[in-house]
Amino acid sequence: MDTTFREVSSDPRTAAVPLSHLSLELGHLYMDDFAAGPARLREQFERVKPWADAARAACTAPAGRRPRISTCFLIDDYFTRFSTPAEVVPELLAQAAECGLVIDYLARESACAEADGRHPARLVEGRLVQSPPPGSNGSRPPATETGWLSNGERSPSDGLGEAMSAAAGWRPPRENEARRHSVFLDVELWDEQGGRRTWSCPFLAAVWQLLRLGLLRDGGREVLPPVPRPAAFPTSWDALPPLVRLNPDADPFAAYRTVSVLASRFLPIEHAVKVVLDQWAPEEPVLRQLAERAAGEGLPLPDDLTARVGYVFHGQP
């Protein structure tokens, strides 16, 4: 009798998630937006509507096929807890509907940090691969120790040098691969107080983008599978599923590409998101899986993850 031995870990176990062609984000909701009342929400959705329509019109699919487009919305319950899902969500959906918009999926920002025993932020942190500036000597601590990630070389500090040595002159920071002039950015990923880590808004926004792109796995499993809409929204944010499918007929949550229609105040945050995505290494089986599926649909899919992410910034302050 012939017997073949092999390691269980050698078997491919990367879950495939359903994919739309486009994940269209219709905005974020913070406490000050909700506190300003229904008129504020309606004003935001009125600004979003024409740009969302344009993003839909620009989405392409193979000839003869309907583009698969899902919409999503993110509520901040991580930095500030306000009101309750039972009060917030129906009002949010009503104001969107008044403006002709349908929200397919609703997510809690806290779920990008931790939800149902899974830690998406830790998964993303664990695959950060910093881009070393030209001429660096490895003396800079990694982002996982400092909590800071930059897109280039920082200005040198005024630390003490060797005795009798010449003082180092000031040098400006330099962006890696700058186009003539630098746009240097140093992103705070997290801070810690009393032994408790708080992830930054830009880092959680990067996690959010990777979830929407279908690129995160936890031991090969889907990280945050959508949960059907509950019969009634709970009175506690913790009782609301991390990712809710509000529309039972919606196309899949994750997509080959994303577009976010946001107020201009989010521009600095999304610039930081690009810095994080530029220095994040996806799992090769997941990356290959998406590439093969896109090729099977006849869709071009950029190798550069940041090229899969698009934005529209409108003038709402």
Q: Is the pLDDT of residue 138 over 80?
A: no
Bigger pLDDT: 171 or 200?
200
Q: pLDDT at residue 57 above 60?
A: yes
What integer pLDDT is reported at residue 125 of this predicted model? 97
Average pLDDT over residues 18-45: 92
User: pLDDT tens digits, residue range 145-182?
Assistant: 889 999 888 887 655 445 555 556 788 888 888 888 99
CB neighbour list of residue 152: distance below 8 Å, 6 or more residues apart:
133, 173, 174, 175, 176, 178, 182, 184
Query: Does 135 fall in a domain?
Result: no
Residues 42 and 277 sit within 8 Å (Cβ to Cβ): no
In this predicted structure, what is the pLDDT of residue 1? 43
Structure tokens at 49: 């509507």
Position 79 pLDDT exceeds 90? yes
Structural domains of the chain, count:
1
Domain range enclosing 200? 15-126+191-314
Instruction: Pick the more confident residue, 8 or 193.
Output: 193
Task: Note whether 8 and 62 are within 8 A (CB).
Answer: no
Residue 148 falls inside a structural domain: no
Compare 133 and 236 and report the one with higher pLDDT.
236
Contact partners, residue 193, CB within 8 Å, separation at least 6: none
pLDDT tops 50 at residue 2: no
How much is the pLDDT for 8? 45
pLDDT score for 141: 80
* Residue 132 falls inside a structural domain: no
Kindly state the percentage of the chain with pLDDT values over 90: 73
- At residue 308, the 3 state secondary structure works out as helix
Whether 248 maps to a domain, the answer reads yes
Question: Running DSSP on this structure, what letter comes out for residue 185?
Answer: -
Q: Which residues, in sequence order, are CB contacts of 202 under 8 Å at separation 6+?
A: 187, 188, 189, 269, 272, 273, 276
Q: 149: helix, coil or strand?
A: strand
Determine the pLDDT at residue 165.
Answer: 53
Question: Does 184 map to a domain?
Answer: no
Looking at residue 166, its pLDDT comes to 57
Span 213-223, pLDDT tens digits: 999 999 999 99
**Mean pLDDT in residue range 273-280:** 96
pTM: 0.90
Q: Evaluate whether residue 167 is within a structural domain.
A: no
Report pLDDT digits (tens) over 218-254: 999 999 999 999 999 999 999 999 999 999 999 999 9
Using 50, 70 and 90 to split pLDDT, how confident is the model at 7?
very low
Residues with Cβ < 8 Å from 190, sequence gap 6 or more?
147, 197, 198, 199, 200, 203
